[in-house]
A and B are shown apart, each in its own frame.
Chain A
């Protein structure tokens, strides 16, 4: 009885499910469009309008961009912050990714205790980045922080400094703290890349006399080209939207004297006006968001295109 019903329903059910299935993507598309795609597209529109507080005024063409690039203090702050983001990216590439690769290589060499080392390297990545910032703020405290206490204990008193209060060291310190946080994650990606290289190829290269650094440079790195580019692109995006560490440790002014200011911090400050919150900040904030978006999207896309081209040849 039930069986017969099901069979007869199946014909109509077949009709029904044909259009019902088109509803499957609906919730995902709706939420993604409304809360991700729309706000980013809307930032483009917003940047072309005048703003009075939270109220949109009239269309004013590229006035916000003009002010961002021509008017004090916005223009100085923009170039200042941009140069810091570039510096941040360079430090992450040189320190974080080099160490991550070295550690991946060490683990790849099948030392004992691999799972312990993986966990040890990865553990900091589990913390909230805001917790990381606060923890290191305590460690780097000039008077009672552990770093300076250690330096004094080993007789390097002259090295002890106000790491975060000194404009010469603050940004580097923050970039290195981010490296500490992220190294385990990048190490795992690079390790997966290393493990995907075929053993035969490596053996053949060794027979040809390639060893040590030469082996790494001329055989290993080219063969893990794809994970390398993923690491570079992720590092790049992450460096250009970095916000939390500076906000937690140096506040929304990128102290001392804007020496740790980053584009995202400048953006937050401009849009939500904790300083210089004059009329039109939402417009300038949106213009800045668009400029940051263009920088991030263009450079990531260039990297990705380069990879695709290389893979096709």
Chain B
């Protein structure tokens, strides 16, 4: 019995110990953003003597935060919308119509999971330039859609196969077209799978840094991660502003996560385990 107790307490020590390690930097980020700058320098380990929002005021003076949120949201929503609509269409085709090239089509999308698109950067740069999309949010959106499709197709085609065919046959007898069938009957049934696709892509797209850094240049079009890069170039001595910027840039995602943490965690693993 005491052996068992010891083992239990070992489990809890490990669980709590790592939880502290995992959360400490995040807590530090939040607390430091509410500290006067001088206390960050002189008492880095202590709680603030008084809470202050001065750093946020300075941050808002310097950065047009609402604009960056809008830019990030625009790119994320457009990317998600197109990934979902296009992947539903192609997955339906792959899962429900038995043509010769269906297997090949599925495989064609699958290999995309292994293609690190960063490595196509040079041709992609020239392509975006030829399409006149440099500095347009659509450069980033189209790349996100392309790189989000393989995982989306894998998840959705798998889900389509689990839906009973009888439903569709009944609908077809009633004179439903393929498009109507898809929209009115199948899509509502697929909400969980579409939710998974949304979450996987949302985390990636919202936080994406590499391609926006390459393609978005105008100040007014930058996303939140790009704004952070700029902030760290400017305020090197005022750490409370830096911490405030980091906190604020993480906040939207953490708030959304707070409402759907289970779906987030299940969704991401579903994508990986499939």
**Residues of A with Cβ closer than 8 Å to B?**
6-7, 10, 13, 17, 20-22, 24-25, 27-29, 31-32, 34-40, 42-43, 46, 54, 99, 102-103, 106-107, 109, 111, 113, 115-131, 134-139, 144-146, 149-150, 153, 180, 183-185, 188-189, 191-193, 227, 230, 234, 237, 240-241, 243-244, 248, 264, 267-268, 271-272, 282, 285-286, 289-290, 292-293, 296-297, 300-301
Contacts and interface: CB of A to CB of B under 8 A. Distances in A.
Contacts of B272: 185, 189, 230, 234
A10 B242 CA distance: 64
Contact of A13 (B122, B145, B177): B177
B22 A248 contact: no
B25 A135 contact: yes
Contacts of B210: 243-244
B15 A34 contact: no
Contacts of B246: 131, 134-135
B89 A25 contact: yes
Contacts of A35: 117, 124, 127, 142-143, 145-147
Contact of A126 (B14, B45, B239, B253): B253
B11 A43 contact: no
A192 B269 contact: yes
B207 interface: yes
Given A29-B90, A117-B19, A243-B118, 20 more contacts: A17-B179, A25-B93, A35-B142, A43-B119, A43-B123, A109-B11, A123-B23, A123-B254, A126-B250, A127-B207, A128-B206, A128-B228, A139-B25, A145-B44, A183-B22, A230-B272, A230-B273, A241-B116, A243-B210, A301-B114
B25 to A, nearest CB: 6
Interface residues of B, number: 87
Interface SS of chain A: helix, strand, loop or mixed? helix
Interface in B246-268: 246, 249-250, 253-254, 257, 261-262, 264-265, 268
B146 A130 contact: no
Contacts, number: 258
Interface string B184-223: 0000000000000000000100111110001000000000
Contacts of B155: none
A296 B116 CA distance: 9
Contacts of B105: 25, 29
A134 B90 contact: no
A188 B86 contact: no
B19 A20 contact: no
Nearest to B40: A144
Given A40-B120, A123-B22, A28 B250 contact: no
Interface of B: 8, 11-12, 14-15, 18-19, 21-23, 25-26, 28-29, 40-41, 44-45, 82, 85-87, 89-90, 92-94, 97, 105, 108-109, 112, 114-124, 126-127, 129, 142-143, 145-147, 149-150, 153, 175, 177-179, 203, 206-210, 214, 224-225, 228-229, 232, 239, 242-243, 246, 249-250, 253-254, 257, 261-262, 264-265, 268-269, 272-273
Contact of A149 (B18, B23, B44, B177): B44
Contacts of A113: 15
A285 B122 contact: yes
A240 B119 CA distance: 11
B18 A42 contact: no
Nearest to B29: A135
Contacts of B115: 36-37, 40, 293
Given A128-B209, A230-B273, A120 B23 contact: yes
5 contacts: A28-B86, A35-B142, A120-B22, A127-B253, A129-B209
Contacts of B177: 13, 17
Contact of B119 (A34, A193, A241, A272): A241
Contact of B120 (A36, A124, A135, A268): A36
Contacts of B261: 115, 119, 122
B69 to A, nearest CB: 13
Contacts of B264: 122, 126
A123 B26 contact: yes
Query: Of A122, A128, A183, A189, which is in contact with the most chain B CB atoms at under 10 Å from its CB?
Result: A128
Nearest to B272: A189
